[in-house]
Amino acid sequence: MRDKFSEKMLFVFWALIASGLSSMSYALTIEDAWQATKQYDPEYLRSQLDEKISETTIRSSKSALLPSARITATTAWNENSTYGIALEQIIWDSSKWSELDSSQASLLASQLKIKQSHNELAGRLISAYLDLAQSQGELRLAQQKFDEGRKMLRIVELRYKAGKIRSVDLEDMRSNHLDEEANILANRLQVEDKKVRLIKLISIEPTQVNEIKTNNLSQPKLIVNSKQEWLKLASNYSPDLLMAKQNIRISELETGKAKTGYYPTITASVGYSDNTRSDNTRSDSGLNASLNLSLPLDLNSSIGSSVERAKLEVLRAKQDVRAVEIEIKSTISNRFNQLSLNWQRVEMAEKQVASKELVLKSKQAIYKAGMAEASDIIEAHNSLFVSKSSLQSLLYQYWRDRISLLKSVGRLDDETITLISQALQS
């Protein structure tokens, strides 16, 4: 009898372990999501390919300045044959040097484009991750509210059966419980919608993600503490601003390239030719050398028009820089001023949650004593979870503003991802 009991208990023990293991799920960390999106995002990978293309363009521009050689062989109808070899070298061609300068500037632009794509990709990933985390948190709160509401409903049902309350109180509680169940379905839909956005970036379907901690809150430090320091960071590191300034340099080089149409080109060549007739006698054979000078005449003003267009492109690029500077300054001023106020709102929301928890407990005690209506419990219950949802929303908004500030100065790097991960919990 004892052996059978032991076997049964052992079976139950292993069944519980198996059930626990099967229900275990691992949250996708933001670091894992970041590594995945860097390997998957087409725009980011394309920017890396653009850098390699720019490197080949530089090699091509350098090759144009090196000597070139050609071999020729010709046979005429009268069986005369001509063979030759020639070596040519550009002595001076301003357009070739301008091409080299432009290709080097384009390489730097492609490198800045990688940083720009890196910054943009990090911003999109963090935004998608936090959106899913917030939706997941709202679903968790909705489920928690539903569970707490079910306990309250059971108490009300018992009091109704005991004849201590009216049927209308029971119906109010049931109606509120149905609203809570409907809220769970709505939040599940939101989670699936946000999950699709994250999957689009990482090509991985996460079971769940980490959420921002809502307990033991302390404001994380900023990398710099004044608005002027943030603006200085943007001036030095913002990929959008650096890219806009590099476009000015590229436009200036294009202006110089257009002006080279006015300048002469000088080329030199040396070769050897052998002309063999049908009777196997040779004529016009030997070495030859030449120096060629070409001087363009802009009779149709095509060169002048190209120069004028290039100058206008420079002015346009400078206005692009101004637009980026204005946008960065506006973003930094707005986000920097909001951060401090938003954190104060977070702290106030945390106090409100603690206060409303006490209110609910007090009203539950009064209700059990028969000194409160069911509607009072429902109101306190709903108010508590509204405050919890508000606290969570304010926390996520604080981090979104912080991410926007870091993005504006080009500091969405691996260190930032690590910082965010410290504020998350599974």
| pLDDT tens by residue, 393-426 | 999 999 999 999 999 999 998 888 888 888 787 5
How many Cα neighbours within 13 Å face the side chain of 285? 11
Q: pLDDT tens across 332-354, in order?
A: 999 998 898 999 999 999 999 99
Backbone angles phi, psi at 65, to 5 degrees: -90, -10
Residues of the chain with pLDDT under 50: 1-2, 4-6, 8-24
Residue 27 confidence (pLDDT): 85
Quote the crossing angle between the two packed helices 227-237 and 302-368, to the nearest 10°: 140
> What residue has token string 């993600």?
209
On whether the CB atoms of residues 281 and 79 are closer than 8 A, the answer is: no
The pTM for the full model equals 0.83
**In order of start, what are the domains of the chain with their CATH numbers?**
27-75+93-269+302-425 (1.20.1600.10)
**CB neighbours (10 Å) of residue 110?**
20
The Cα–Cα gap between 416 and 420 comes to: 6
